[in-house]
Amino acid sequence: MQTAAVIPPLNERPIKNTIVLFDVDETLTKSRQGVKPEMLTLLSALRQKVAIGYVGGSDLAKQQEQLGTSEIPVTSLFDFCFPENGLTAFRLGVPLASQSFIGWLGEEKYKKLVNFLLRYISEIDLPFKRGTFVEFRNGMVNVSPVGRNATNAERDAFNAFDTEHKVREKFVATLQKEFVELGLTYSIGGQISFDVFPTGWDKRYCLQHVEAEKARPDGVDYTTIHFFGDKTSPGGNDYEIYSDSRTIGHSVKDPDDTLAQVKAEFFS
């Protein structure tokens, strides 16, 4: 069904210089769930016309679970796969150069940041604290004043306390002042933590891989970049790439809406 041999090379797709990128959760699949067969059929048909790719915040393993099967690697279903917003990337199934938070920041600056975080956390007075206050991830650091080991009930309790006392807001404001020269973005999300990552390392990060294509001997200058995503309002994780001047943004409600919009755009 998804045979690589029948897919035209990137520089021979009928709609020239065009790539279509998709968010994953609530755009190609329901949140954290598997893809429906009609979506895979549509993507396969679309791939006959244009280059296709996805860009998701999670890692490849999660996307393999949602989009692939034990027989079908997710990297064979798209021309471009951009897990972790493109910090890791695959082109026609082959990995491209990857990037990490520590690689970008360097050990010295990272150490200063973590020392400051831990000192600040040690001095906040909360009704209770648990463990795992700083979690190091490939593309970011996740910071939780109460600790990620908190139970669901403790998360609720911290969240109520945070709403009243603005613990995370004040923490972020302090970091913004202290580390102004590092070029970091702070994103408060979920109940108990916030993320710290280099400015620009949202979904726009993957566009540098798309732009690099034109320099390849068999590469394409993608002058038309469509993006479909569901969290396209300010504060949503699709907002930056959706509103970027390099893309044509499409806001979808859910995967069914993606099916309808892609059909209207490319198959009518």
Binding residues vs Mg ion (CB under 5 A): 23, 25-26, 230
Non-local (6+) Cβ contacts of 66 within 8 A are 24, 28, 29, 32, 33, 34, 35
Non-local (6+) Cβ contacts of 267 within 8 A are 45
Q: DSSP class of residue 256? A: H
Residue 23 appears among annotated catalytic residues: yes
Closest CA to 208 of 243, 244, 183: 244
Residue closer to Mg ion by CB (options 184, 251) is 251
We find the least distance from the C-beta atom of residue 129 to Mg ion, in angstroms, to be 32
We find the least distance from the C-beta atom of residue 5 to Mg ion, in angstroms, to be 32
* Active-site choice (23, 162, 202, 238): 23
The residues facing 81 across adjacent strands are 54, 90
Residue 11 is which amino acid? N
d(CA 107, CA 113) in angstroms, rounded, equals 10
Residue 25 appears among annotated catalytic residues: yes
Residue closer to Mg ion by CB (options 188, 212) is 188
We find the least distance from the C-beta atom of residue 231 to Mg ion, in angstroms, to be 5
Structure tokens, 35: 């893809």
Q: Is 218 annotated as a binding residue?
A: no
d(CA 23, CA 193) in angstroms, rounded, equals 23
Q: Is 148 annotated as a binding residue?
A: yes
Residue closer to Mg ion by CB (options 79, 230) is 230
* Active-site choice (25, 79, 162, 238): 25
Q: Is 242 annotated as a binding residue?
A: yes
Residue closer to Mg ion by CB (options 154, 238) is 238
Q: Is 193 annotated as a binding residue?
A: yes
We find the least distance from the C-beta atom of residue 24 to Mg ion, in angstroms, to be 6
Structure tokens, 201: 């390392």
Q: Is 186 annotated as a binding residue?
A: no
Q: Active-site residue numbers? A: 23, 25
Residue list, annotated binding site: 23, 25, 32, 137, 148, 155, 193, 195, 230, 242, 244, 247
